[in-house]
Structure 1
Amino acid sequence: MTYLLKGGLVATWTSDNQPLTLLADVLVEDATIVRVDKQIDVGPNVQVVDCTGKWIIPGMVDTHRHTWMAIMRGSQGDWLLTEYLVKNSWHEQGDITVPEIRIGQLAGCLDALNSGVTTILDHFHAANSPEHADAVLEATIQSGARVILSMSRQSAPTQVFPHFEFANEAAADKWQWEKLEEWAGKGGGQLTEDGRVLLGFAYDLDMFNPDPALMPMHQAAIKRARALPAAVITSHVVSGPRILDWKKAGFLGPDVVFSHCNVLFQHTEVDDEMWNAMKEHKCSIASTPADELNMAHGNPVALEAVDRGVKCGLGIDCASINGGDLFTQMKVALGWARGRRNEEVVNKKLQPPQYNKHNAVDAFRLATLGGAEALNLSNTIGTIEAGKKADIVVLDADSVNLAGIRDPFKGVVFHATDADVELVMVNGEIVKKNGKLCKIEWGPVAKELRERAEAVRERWPDAKLDELWSKYYAQDPNMKL
């Protein structure tokens, strides 16, 4: 299919790292942007989309999302991170059924697309069985989103009190590697023929099993993942020296994406070893500022990473806790960076700056080109340029939120919501049109999601979860991450 997006205001960073706004037409052939120009004439077989009064921006890139957790959205937003681990990771998560995880994954992908997020690094940490894994892959492909599906090598605990037991770990280790190798064998890491869905790998076992005697196991796992090949290796870093542990173990590389990295906020020296290790090995940070602040992960480091030359993108983290859009994450990342700088000015009685150090255009970059760079996909996505994949978002600049705004970068970061997203294209396929999802009808998805989410809540009522958390907190109030 060939499309001409005609007469819109293109707002994008470019491959030579410059922001650009241009009133132009965008010609798409099959999955690729082939031309961006002020006036493009086409023949009768091209489908023309009138973009007069619209903004055309790159599809946004989420670098850290637990997509399947849409099955539990709205229930976890007031939790601390430690509370989340006990209630969800160590109890609810291992009890999720195959139909529940399938509809959660599908709904989570559609939530992203509806908000103009076209690419997701999906840290899939609920692979409870081969059937769960296949259901998530099926839903991901069905959704139309561009996804690096990163199944986590882990098993759910079979006992938490009075101490942890993982009675199913040997069996999980066996079938999860078999499943990863099965997926990789279908297309060398491409999980769809067109490369829209790629294989990634998530690994946190070294965080919960830091015993030096287990280091050969961890090293073998990372080596095996790279041999698949996994497009990305992703892992959580909140506190502690894990970045240096990975460096010492020889794990670091340009395919590594660490989510959060709040520990780096405390490392302010110019020549700090952790920051330098990230830059030297071309690793990336996936910053999720909204829940990092709300759940007591620590302070976000997104724009500081950019200042230090470390690749960084944004993410929403848990679809159970945050909405699927990156508009919120852009605002929070920018607001936090500005607030931190202004606090230093006040506390240290410094001369007030003449201008803000970071601006809307910088936050916009985090959500588009920055995210693409973090995932090593900037040669194919992240900008509106000829030769890139046609992952495109069109916003209605005459909407209630956006009318009257001249600068689309400021408009996207400070004013836009998913209600302004009129059209979304992924890999040249339109998945949202005229403000509504069109590849998959939302109504039946919403109905099933509502029914299955209620079933989860019935099995895990708040009172039951609070009892578990209180019991654990009484046992270990100083839980370290």
Structure 2
Amino acid sequence: MATKYLLKGGTVATCVQGSDAPQVYKADVLVEGNTITRIGQDIAPAAGVEVIDCENKWITPGFVDTHRHLFMTVLRGNHCDMLLSEYFIKMSWTVQGTLTPSEVAIGTLAGCLDALHNGVTTILDHFHAAHTPAHADAALRAVLESGARVIWAPARQSPPTQVFPSIEFGHEPGATQWQREKLRELGAPNAGKLRPDGRVTLGLAYDAIWQGPMSTHQEFLAYARSIPVSVITAHVVQGPQITQWRDGGLLGPDVVFSHCNVLADRPAPDDEMWAALKESGAAIASTPEDELGMAHGNPVALDALRRGVKCGLGVDATSINSGDIFTQMRFALQWARGHDHERIHLAKETAPFRNKFSSADAFRLGTLGGAEALGLSSLIGTVEVGKRADLVIFDANSVNLAGTADPITGVVFHAASEDVDAVLVDGEVVKRGGKLVRDWAPVARELKKCADDIRERWPEDKLQERWKKWYDANGAPVF
């Protein structure tokens, strides 16, 4: 198996650290081991180097997903029409706690392969189904097997032991103890590296800030950082968590908050939540497609870019929406443009000369922006010498892309998974000739079997009955 590749005759399209403008230029790219070692014109292939013909192809960085629940691919399509509150009752507090380790494992593996197929090479996996040690072990094995670059962040939480008449979490004391021990067991031997080469690292998902005294959270997060975990991630939708984390002294550049729709339409540049993020170096993971559809609130990705707050994009879950970053880039960009245009129309302001936000802004969010949010911009996010070889090769002659002059606009507005000809992660080819290197058929068979089993256990009428019971008693709470 070749460990050296020469990507010959392609067009490189990449952001560059320290610049707001992406670069597009013709060049060969030499990959040796897991690293980009040379970029230039007319590089001659040496012995032992496999040449990949990139004429009429674009070479971009691998796309970075800063918020995904990989295991939920086993529930693909189940939540597309749900409100967030409905999803909590039907999925998070009902179906999720009944999933078996094998169902979690196949969902995680399929989720990783879905990402790679779409050119997503790096994923922050907020794994909130670590209900037992067996569930955690099964999910991690699937991540390691997939070949993706993953920050695997098991959640510090347990499933509810009761939903009606009020929600209770009776397993919390035991879950806290074994999850604490599991973090140390996995992370301590190799400083948080879960693969010796560092392609998979340990993170922590921590949505427990609303439970118990602040001192409990301060102690647990200090413990996790001592292991160390590479990233700590938490959901923020419309709640006060950002200031809670700030006031508890918990913020830092290793924190990634998902969604942050509470920040939308806050005009003051010194707003305390925005200021807390910028001053601490904490980041946002924006998932505009499901945020708009599930009533999270308005997306803030381009606001973050404008304010100098680190931000990347994410899919959230393929049970809710698509699994590619192309769609997220389009949603983020067009939402920001539309919202700006609406403001101008309502204020009867003079029409602008051009759009405030560009394709280059969206491309940055999907690549370098995501790498910065995850603290990985020294390794990935751009096509530059010395960076890890996480690369995507697009067929510029495809039905979707042929005739497009600019690869940046082409990728942001026209690309889809079928245009992704090849994908490399850490110098390993995981997609070639438009197909995954990993045999997808057996994965699909197991995925379908498990999905059917779950739907048989939880038919829609049964779930709808639970949701109506909750809604009639409580309404639709804002999270």
Range into which the TM-score falls when normalised by the shorter chain: over 0.9
Corresponding residue for 2:11? 9
Corresponding residue for 2:436? 437
The alpha-carbon deviation at position 480 of structure 1 amounts to: 3.1
The alpha-carbon deviation at position 289 of structure 1 amounts to: 0.2
The alpha-carbon deviation at position 128 of structure 1 amounts to: 1.2
The alpha-carbon deviation at position 42 of structure 1 amounts to: 2.1
Runs (4 or more) in structure 1 with deviation over 3 Å come to none
Corresponding residue for 2:289? 290
1:190-223 per-residue CA deviation (whole Å, 9 max, x = no partner) reads 000000000000101113x2x5xx2111111111
Q: Is 1:103 aligned to 2:106, yes or no? A: yes
**2:49 corresponds to which letter in structure 1?**
V
Check the 8 A contact 2:188/2:228 in 1, yes or no.
no
1:85-137 per-residue CA deviation (whole Å, 9 max, x = no partner) reads 11111010000001101100000000000000000000000001111101111
Corresponding residue for 1:316? 315
The alpha-carbon deviation at position 16 of structure 1 amounts to: 2.4
Deviates more, 1:259-268 or 1:60-69: 259-268
Corresponding residue for 1:249? 248
Distance in 2, matches of 1:128 and 1:276, equals: 35
Check the 8 A contact 2:317/2:323 in 1, yes or no.
no
**1:12 corresponds to which letter in structure 2?**
T
1:306-346 per-residue CA deviation (whole Å, 9 max, x = no partner) reads 00000000001122112210000000000000001100111
Indicate the SS of the match to 1:369: helix
Corresponding residue for 1:467? 465
Match of 2:79 among 64, 76, 79: 76
Matches within 5 A, 1:45-60: 45-60=48-63
The alpha-carbon deviation at position 478 of structure 1 amounts to: 4.5
Match of 2:124 among 101, 121, 125: 121
| TM-score when normalising by structure 2 | 0.98
The alpha-carbon deviation at position 251 of structure 1 amounts to: 0.5
| TM-score when normalising by structure 1 | 0.98
**1:200 corresponds to which letter in structure 2?**
G
Corresponding residue for 2:209? 206
**1:169 corresponds to which letter in structure 2?**
E
Matches within 5 A, 1:346-365: 346-365=345-364
Corresponding residue for 1:280? 279
Matches within 5 A, 1:404-423: 404-423=403-422
**2:227 corresponds to which letter in structure 1?**
L
Matches within 5 A, 1:60-71: 60-71=63-74
Distance in 2, matches of 1:134 and 1:164, equals: 27
Distance in 1, matches of 2:196 and 2:217, equals: 31
Residue segments in structure 1 that go unaligned for 5+ positions in a row: none
The alpha-carbon deviation at position 167 of structure 1 amounts to: 2.0
Distance in 1, matches of 2:335 and 2:181, equals: 43
Distance in 1, matches of 2:103 and 2:269, equals: 47
Matches within 5 A, 1:64-463: 64-207=67-210, 209=211, 214-438=213-437, 440-463=438-461
Check the 8 A contact 1:188/1:228 in 2, yes or no.
yes
Distance in 2, matches of 1:103 and 1:186, equals: 27
How many pairs does the alignment contain?
A: 476
Distance in 2, matches of 1:421 and 1:274, equals: 38
Indicate the SS of the match to 2:264: helix
Distance in 2, matches of 1:238 and 1:150, equals: 19
Identity among equivalent pairs (%): 57
Residue segments in structure 2 that go unaligned for 5+ positions in a row: none
**2:101 corresponds to which letter in structure 1?**
V
**1:324 corresponds to which letter in structure 2?**
G
Distance in 2, matches of 1:161 and 1:268, equals: 40
Check the 8 A contact 1:68/1:319 in 2, yes or no.
no
Check the 8 A contact 2:85/2:476 in 1, yes or no.
no
